[in-house]
Chains A and B, each alone.
Chain A
Amino acid sequence: MRPFTHINARTVKQAVTALAQQNGAARLNAGGTDLFGLLKDEYLPAYPDMIVNIKTIAGLNYIKEDKNFLRIGALTRLADISKSSLLRQRYAVLADAAHSVATPQIRNVATLGGNLCQDVRCCYYRYPRHIGGPIQCARKGSGACLAVTGDNRNHAILGGKRCFAVCPSDTAVALTLYDARLLVVGPGGERQIAVGDFYTPLKNGLRSDEMVREIQIPRLPEVPQQTFLKFTLRKPIDFAVVSVAALVSQATGICTEARIALGAVAPGIVRADAAEKFLRGRPLTAETAAQAAELALADARPLSRNAYKINIATALVTRALLGQKECEIPPDEVKAYNPTELSTFHRCSSSTPPGYATVVESGTATP
């Protein structure tokens, strides 16, 4: 790490004032889980001169519902979101998406605002400075996107332009499904940005002197069927290869509302408008769900190595629509690692017939 100035902001105004004064050379620190990667790997051309700690701002950690909106403070921790009974009952996709992030340790410090504003995970973009220097690319303002002709297995299949990195936020998928918007504060006042419009290929919609203060979800009149699915190689820790959220309301066997949001397939979160339209007024069956999924990916234009993401996304959309929540999300309580339960040790005699005289040293089962 290099030296930097560190200040504790007490108010949102103090924080954005500091950002404005530093003119792009300051960074906010909420949970810090994404920021520390930048500070350690120094993958950006410029190193922050100042870190503005916003954990010291009181009153930005809340989940509350009023007549029109469900409001979540930007500093609300992912752990609190995943455990909130209000969200679990009515906005389960957001609770599940928050729960799917990283590990319990990270969810205990990471915030919703930080999850939405985190930088992309592109392996070229994040290449560490200490192994021969950072890699220049379109997102850093010079050169082309290296993923286009390089290793693009995790890159965009939809909507890439100049930069093909995907939006890594899981909670953004849920929020886009709910048509949520961000309340953003800058030196000149507040403005609102729809989460679905927040991400563009080269950056998110936040100016360098702005911060997210609140996330607002239009109140759901009823509790629809809703499902969040995230495909990863490993259950914990990993960022999504593809994530999908779907919401369906039905009356007399016919879809009155259908929404589909896809994450990690594009620079932003993709709402599958054509697929949603297709489903409204139709019955939800395995067949219509599959047709909707085809429609959701109809515009996909894969790069050399990421066409497989279309298959995964198609499968996930179908399953999410049908409410097939088979990707069980592991519980928060991690069982203590007990080496004697990890495996079963069969100490066998070679002189006895196979299958007999098996002495089990630990564990219980033996065939």
Chain B
Amino acid sequence: MSDEYRFIGRSTRRKDATEVVTGATRYVNDLKFAELLHGKVLRSPHPHANLKSIDKSRAEQLPGVKAVLTWEDVPDWKGGTPRITRVLDSKVRYVGDAVALVAATTEDIARQALSLIDVEYELLPAVFDVDAAMQPGAPQLYEQLPGNIVTPGMPAFGPNSLREVVMGDVEQGFGEADVIIEGTFGYENIPNPIPPEPPGAVALWEEPNRVTLWVSNQASYLDTIILHHVFGRKVEVRTHGAACGGSFGTKLLSWQLQSHAVLLSKATGRPVKLIYSKEEHIAAFVLRPGSRMQARVGMKKGGTVTAVSGKWLVDTGFYSMTTQAQVAVGCGEIQLMTRCANWDLQTAVVCTNRNASGGVRGFGGQELKCSFIPLLCQAMEQLDLDPVEFIKKNYVKPGDGYFWRDGAWYTYRGIDYSDSMEQGAQCFGWKENWQGWLQPSSVAGTKRRGVGVGVHGNADIGEDSSEAHVRLNPDGSVLLFSCITEHGTGQRSNYVKMVAEVLQVPMERVSITDADSQINPFEYGPFGSRGTYAIGSAAIRAAEDARRQLFEIIAPRLKARPDELDTADGVVFVTADPDRRTSWRAMGHERTILGYGRFDPDFTLANCMTTFVEVEVDTETGKVDLLRVVNATDVGQIIDPPGLEGQLNGCLGSSGIDSALFEETVLDDRTGHILNANMIDYKWRTFSELPSIDNVVLETPVDSNRFKAIGVGEVATSPGPMAILMAVSNAIGVWLHEYPATPERVLKALGRVKARSHTGGAA
């Protein structure tokens, strides 16, 4: 608990609170530039085609148009993993793919110019399904990817980047099983979290080889590295991470959009702003990967999983940038929730003719588990096992091991999460409501209620590296250098809080630099839940280093050793004799102290989120209503209670629980059009329909950093979808395995949709 801390664990005012709520915060679209041009993208009407010819002469003649670019005009810049996707290509691979770019003095002129570009397409057959894409003779998206299978492995994770889970002897494992279940399940509704602010950037090129970008991204330092590689390692890239109006993982990267803005600035010599419309955001920006798993699982009567084998197919759309990373992390995460000795789980990342998949909160693990847990449920049903008991038994325990994303074996040294699961179950009233598999918890007329539970956890809380500087000024103020954009979680404020706690100065005395890649040290960015442990540790260590230097400088004046000193509120004093004191000014007016902190990856700790849900199903209309949610977790030490509560309440949207209720991206599998690229047809929960949410948070100290805390923000979305399917199945008494549980699917599962003769002109 927080008694020992002055700021940590207490509700403190967010540094940017006033600016955000008064509208003063400047997002990318609010930034002002002289001579600014507006960029627009001409998008393909076809899911797969070669560009036979492009005539841009009419567009170029339109007054106000400053540049029209096609694949023939631009350098051979490429992104993707492997790096084979050109920023503008002679081929288009999805409906919405970039055909040409325009920069003009106004948005309207740029848009008008798009309609004046004449394109002749040579149509190619397209493929929208992963199994079909792997078949011989299927349309090929890239020469370099035979069978549309993306080169496995994430190079950034090293040569052994996890791409499968293989250990033990699965045949022996199946031999020991009391029940073996086999099946194919998917999580293929490619939901989109749709952060309120659409993706965007402003680029300013300076000859010969320098570019500065103002980005709306979650990880602005990483943008400089990604773009440096995309630009053939010949361009010096600087980013300013503006306030980011939400990301939920999707705005980890925006390399295509950013590259397009850079190309237009390079062509015009002027700053170019490129901001997606809501339609582009949904139809031409990254989606969650599609997940399909054909697998076999063996289980013993007590809930011990004896073997898992199968194949996990991941639909990445028209390219992969991070999907192999999601596969690696997903393969790690499935081991965290399934203590099993025998594995043979293979994977493949497959390209199809729809817009690309990218990072989304739940990064691989949510996609895999949403396909895997329905299979486990079948086994649990056969053995009449309570899923809460199963989760408690099977979630990673201290001393267990797992292969993590780099392919190395790690021994878990965190806590046992059974206590949080148990307290969550108590808060929810699980025992009172669980009536067994496919049994409703209550029935009233046409309304049937059911309960479900899901679990998710990630060892990404200590992934990747972070660096920070902390500068102490003689006036008692502090400046934290950390290349973090504020993407809505309040973490910038939390790092200030951590530094304030270490240095015992009021938070008002601590500032944080803008996320400028040129002045700040390396920062991978707030991926996953790494913010608290990884990024926080760098800030803490930088503050501790600065504190140490301060004491070394001041110790002689107080005639004490540095280790005898302490500081609070800009005063250094001898711990044992606080009257021997002097202010930070004693460091000298013409001096600042610069501390440095670094975090190196640690995959031996993992977080855990358990989500309980209760739904009510109308068996006549098929409508599913979410009545209540209980999230249960253990975070070691709460840093900021309202911030944490906000993250946990995020369990609904951002393609979380609601991706099992109504969120889905509707892709026409004949034409490749995304049919619901607007906020009426993409079903996004509104504030007037919030269920009851209880967040049960334990604080069992974890051996992480100074504050014994770990992050949990990312994983709130992930256990929910599978819990919903379980709850709906229990409510209606038959299995429902497809996401989302729409009225159409519920009524079909109930066998109530009558077959009618298809006459009257209908197909």
Contact = CB atoms under 8 A, between A and B. Distances in A.
B622 A308 contact: yes
Nearest to B689: A235
Interface string A294-321: 0000001111111110111011100000
A302 B43 CA distance: 34
A132 interface: yes
A148 B761 CA distance: 9
A32 B758 CA distance: 38
B34 interface: no
Interface string A226-267: 000001011111110100000000000000000000000000
Contacts of B96: 131-132
Contact of B111 (A130, A237, A334): A130
Contact of A337 (B279, B422, B687): B687
B683 A150 contact: no
A140 interface: no
B159 to A, nearest CB: 40
Interface stretch (A81-89, A91-99, A339-347): A339-347
Nearest to A155: B762
A314 B618 CA distance: 13
A344 B695 contact: yes
Interface stretch (A110-118, A121-129, A179-187, A191-199): A121-129
B427 A160 contact: no
Given A123-B676, A130-B111, A149-B763, A343 B688 contact: no
A342 B690 contact: yes
Nearest to B107: A1
A33 to B, nearest CB: 11
Interface stretch (A62-70, A170-178, A268-276, A354-362): A354-362
Given A131-B43, A343-B645, A301 B756 contact: yes
A123 B686 contact: no
A349 B680 contact: no
A315 B757 contact: no
Given A128-B677, A302-B758, A303-B763, A312 B743 contact: yes
Interface stretch (B81-89, B327-335, B667-675): B667-675
Chain B interface residue number, banded? 35 or more
B743 A132 contact: no
A348 B689 CA distance: 28
Contacts of B284: 131
Nearest to B11: A361
Contacts of B752: 311
B111 A350 contact: no
Nearest to A229: B621
A347 to B, nearest CB: 6
A361 B662 contact: no
B756 A307 contact: yes
Contact of B744 (A301, A305, A345): A305
Contacts of A339: 642, 645-646
A282 to B, nearest CB: 22
B423 A354 contact: yes
Contacts of B674: 131
Nearest to A122: B675
B46 interface: yes
Contacts of A241: 743
B641 interface: yes
Contacts of A340: 642
A135 B753 CA distance: 30
A135 B646 CA distance: 41
Given A130-B280, A308-B753, A123 B681 contact: yes
Interface string B459-498: 0000000000000000000000000000000000000000
A302 B756 CA distance: 7
A45 interface: no
A135 B674 CA distance: 12
A347 B758 contact: no
B13 to A, nearest CB: 14
Interface in A113-166: 121, 123-124, 126-128, 130-133, 135, 146, 148-151, 153, 160-162, 164
Nearest to B623: A231
B697 interface: yes
A310 B756 contact: yes
Contacts of B426: 354-355, 367
A345 B427 contact: no
A355 B666 CA distance: 44
Interface centre among B620, B621, B752, B753 (most CB of A within 10 A): B621
A237 B280 CA distance: 21
A350 B673 contact: no
A304 B699 contact: no
A302 B694 contact: no
11 contacts: A3-B108, A41-B279, A123-B675, A131-B280, A133-B45, A301-B759, A303-B763, A304-B763, A312-B621, A334-B687, A350-B420
